[in-house]
Amino acid sequence: MTTWAGGIILSSEFVLSKYGDSLANKTILITGVANDSIAGELAVQISAYKPSLVILTARSEARVEPVVAKIKSKNPDVSVRFLKLDLSDLKDVRRAVKDLSDVPKIDHFVAVAGVMVPPFAKTADGLESQFGVNYLANFLLVKELLPKIRAAGPKSSIVICSSSAVRRGQVHFDDINYSDGETYDPLDAYGQSNAARTIFALFLGEKLKGEGIRVFSVDPGAVQTGLQRHFGGEFLAQIQVLRKSTEPLRDLDGRPYNMPNFTGTSEGASTLITAMVDPTIEEAHGAFLHQNAPAEDHLTSHILNRDNWTKLWELSEKLIGEPFTI
């Protein structure tokens, strides 16, 4: 059994100083880019390492503009392209991929966009919004982008942002939509979407192992970003109680764990960079990364249950209305 490093979270600058040179001349697509988001920090950090093209997605170009300005001030030579993409509409995902028809290959696809504990809402396709935006849109995006990622060859990567919420998250196969909102619990639904993201990466990593495409899901740690915009007073009070409690949190299997402490955005982006380029973790296809290292011990029996991998894949194919065969 391999023992991985981990233990503290590294800065993006540190990870890039070791492995960033491999990003030269690469095409990198990042979702969820905004000035105050983890993806925005990631885009600025990696752009210093001379990628040939960085494609930044957001729902509106205005969200990306300050990030582009920062990138250009670090590296005026890098080509940056805005791609409009609304993950709450599968039609828009398909449209956005068509807009990339002139891009022959994508070396790194990093799916960072996400939403946390919003009031109940449904996507254009009728799904609870966190499941739809955080997970299902990425299933379709990966399916549609795979030919371009394959064209980039071995050592290309598919990185799916996830969260420590996987510890309590489970996919409610019998009721993904919380009885059309009637039984909606925002935090449980955030956990569900992250369990789905991590199960997807585990199965995808296994399916793509023979092709040498790196696949990981990533817990970026806790960072103050736009993600906290839906935290209401009641939710924050709940968190305060948990933080002050001497009782540890318990995962779905009853194992104790601690709530993560906040770090800066550089630390928040660093494990995503590890997933993209750290050669020392290559053999851990599909793994969930925490603090720059694989962390299988963070995964519950629900997530490691292979029947759930198959169930989720089949459900996702049904929801996007087409097979995704690898």
Ligand X SMILES: NC(=O)c1ccc[n+]([C@@H]2O[C@H](COP(=O)([O-])OP(=O)(O)OC[C@H]3O[C@@H](n4cnc5c(N)ncnc54)[C@H](OP(=O)(O)O)[C@@H]3O)[C@@H](O)[C@H]2O)c1
**By CB neighbour count within 10 A (0-12 exposed, 13-18 middle, 19+ buried), where does 151 fall?**
middle
Q: Which is nearer to ligand X, 25 or 240 (CB)?
A: 240
Q: Which is nearer to ligand X, 167 or 214 (CB)?
A: 167
- Whether the CB-CB separation of 109 and 142 falls below 8 Å is answered with yes
The beta-strand segments (E) located in the chain are 27-31, 53-58, 79-84, 108-111, 157-161, 214-219, 222-223, 249-250, 256-257, 262-263, 288-290, 293-294
- Whether the CB-CB separation of 105 and 148 falls below 8 Å is answered with yes
Q: Which is nearer to ligand X, 96 or 202 (CB)?
A: 96
- Which residue in the set 113, 204, 273, 299 belongs to the binding site for ligand X (CB under 6 A)? 113
- Which range in 33-41, 250-258, 275-283, 288-296 contacts ligand X by CB under 6 A? 33-41
- Which range in 46-54, 113-121, 180-188, 312-320 contacts ligand X by CB under 6 A? 113-121
Q: What is the smallest separation between the CB atom of 221 and ligand X, expressed in angstroms? A: 6
- Which residue in the set 114, 186, 205, 286 belongs to the binding site for ligand X (CB under 6 A)? 114
Active-site residue 190, yes or no?
Answer: yes
Query: How far is it, in rounded angstroms, from Cα 320 to Cα 304?
Result: 24
Q: Which of 49, 135, 178, 190 is catalytic?
A: 190
- Which range in 1-9, 171-179, 225-233, 310-318 contacts ligand X by CB under 6 A? 225-233
| Residue 9 binds to ligand X (criterion: CB under 6 A) | no
- Whether the CB-CB separation of 33 and 47 falls below 8 Å is answered with no
Q: Which is nearer to ligand X, 43 or 277 (CB)?
A: 43
Q: Which is nearer to ligand X, 152 or 276 (CB)?
A: 276
- Which residue in the set 51, 186, 220, 286 belongs to the binding site for ligand X (CB under 6 A)? 220
| Residue 68 binds to ligand X (criterion: CB under 6 A) | no
Pick the closest to residue 29 from 88, 146, 111, 90 (CA basis). Answer: 111
- Which range in 28-36, 174-182, 242-250, 293-301 contacts ligand X by CB under 6 A? 28-36
Contact code string over 130-149 relative to ligand X, x by CB under 6 A:
---xx---------------
Task: Write the single-letter amino acid at 253.
Answer: D
| Residue 97 binds to ligand X (criterion: CB under 6 A) | no
Query: How far is it, in rounded angstroms, from Cα 166 to Cα 6?
Result: 18
C-alpha distances (whole Å) from 215 to each of 50, 88, 93, 112 are 23, 23, 20, 14
Which residues inside 157-176 make contact with ligand X, applying CB under 6 A? 161, 163
Pick the closest to residue 198 from 288, 326, 130, 133 (CA basis). Answer: 288
Q: Which is nearer to ligand X, 39 or 320 (CB)?
A: 39
In DSSP notation, 121-167 reads -B-TTSSBHHIIIIIIHHHHHHHHHHHHHHHH-TT-EEEEE--GGGG
Query: 294: which residues sit within 8 A by CB, 6+ positions away?
Result: 2, 4, 6, 281, 284, 287, 288
| Residue 270 binds to ligand X (criterion: CB under 6 A) | no
- Which residue in the set 15, 28, 34, 171 belongs to the binding site for ligand X (CB under 6 A)? 34
| Residue 32 binds to ligand X (criterion: CB under 6 A) | yes
Paired tokens of 253: 């299997």
- Whether the CB-CB separation of 31 and 113 falls below 8 Å is answered with yes
- Supply the residues annotated as catalytic: 190
Q: Which residues bind ligand X (CB under 6 A)?
A: 32, 34, 36-39, 58-59, 63, 85-88, 112-116, 133-134, 161, 163, 220, 222-223, 225-227
